[in-house]
Structure 1
Amino acid sequence: MKKVFFVLVLLLSIVALPVSAEDQYDFKSQEFKEVASQFMCMCGCGQDHFECNMQGCGLNDAFKQEMKEMMDDGLNKDEIKDYYVSMYGEEILTAPEKRGFSLAAWILPFFVLGTAGTGLFYVIRKWIKVNSGSENMSSETNDIDEAEDEIVKSIIDEERKKYY
């Protein structure tokens, strides 16, 4: 009876043991990809930690292992993100957060381009109005231009006659 009880306790303890870290998440799981893809690799390759494949990148392997251990300990995507942002700053993120100064960094370039485009539209529109109003004044200039054109054409005709 004691042996049966001992075997039963042994089986229950094996079943009740927490799953080992290797069995919870692996480097190719979708959850790991979501976590690792939000951080830039610091080796200079310009890729995120999930995609970094630079030869000899020791940073990536250690970073991935650390993220995997955090996930195995029960931390979620946002908690891991907060940890690394507090450690390295927003430079480690593949996409800046959409709040505070980062929100201004997202919106400001589009606002400046829109404002510049609108300003350029009105400046060109004003130039066109000024030029169309000055056409009457420039009739004397047009007469001079026509006279110069006639002179140039006659010189070209004379030169052409010499050679043909």
Structure 2
Amino acid sequence: MRRIVALFYFLILLSSFSMQVFAEEKGSSKNFDYTNPEFKATVDMLYMEGHSNDDLANCDVKQLYYEEVADMFFIKGMSKKEILDYYLNAQGVHALNAPPEKGFNLTLWITPFLLILIISILLFFVIKKWKGNKNIIASQVSNSTDLEHDIYASIIDQERKKFY
């Protein structure tokens, strides 16, 4: 009977020890400093499969990414560039929130601003041309209105002479 009780206590002690070790392992990832500026800058650059704007407390995917990056950053000692290169190699350009500014991506960054500049210049010259044409048309209209005024005045005078 003593052996059974001793075995029972030994199993309880062993199970509580294994639970404590498991809890420490699981809790060790929670001890990372997520407020570290360089860590935060690294994580903010990742797209996280569309979950980068989700709340960390509620999103399992974002929590997984934070734990992976924290493991690389704090435990393995990888730099920001090494972590980003790792994700670029694994997932391609889609791993980043913003594509890198080189190659074809540089064209994608510059094109909208270049189009806005070209359209602004074209609008400037078109408006300038319209203003120039407006002055010419205004002078023609003023000449024609003087002529019309004279014609109407002479018609009115003729009609008035008929009744006096």
Q: Same fold (TM over 0.5)?
A: yes
CA distance in 1, matches of 2:49, 2:148: 65
Gaps of 5+ in 1: 1-20, 147-164
Give yes or no for contact 2:43–2:69 (8 Å, CA) kept in 1: yes
- State yes or no: 1:38 paired with 2:45: yes
TM-score, normalised via structure 2 length: 0.60
1:136–1:34 CA distance, 2 compared to 1 (3 A) = closer
Q: Could you say what the CA RMSD is over the residues aligned between the two structures, in angstroms?
A: 3.0
**Secondary structure of 2:139 counterpart:** coil
Following superposition, the deviation at residue 135 of structure 1 comes to: 2.3
Following superposition, the deviation at residue 139 of structure 1 comes to: 3.2
Structure whose residues are more often helix by fraction? 2
Amino acid at match of 1:32: F
1:30–1:128 CA distance, 2 compared to 1 (3 A) = closer
Give yes or no for contact 1:96–1:102 (8 Å, CA) kept in 2: yes
Structure 1 counterpart of 2:25: none
Following superposition, the deviation at residue 123 of structure 1 comes to: 0.6
TM-score, normalised via structure 1 length: 0.60
Aligned pairs for 1:12-161 (under 5 A) are 25-44=32-51, 47=53, 52-53=54-55, 56-71=58-73, 72-139=75-142, 142=145
Give yes or no for contact 1:43–1:59 (8 Å, CA) kept in 2: no
CA distance in 1, matches of 2:61, 2:110: 33
Amino acid at match of 2:91: Y
Amino acid at match of 2:62: N
**Secondary structure of 2:138 counterpart:** coil
Amino acid at match of 1:62: L
1:26–1:144 CA distance, 2 compared to 1 (3 A) = farther
Query: Identity of counterpart residues, as a percentage?
Result: 28
Give yes or no for contact 1:43–1:57 (8 Å, CA) kept in 2: no
Following superposition, the deviation at residue 145 of structure 1 comes to: 9.5
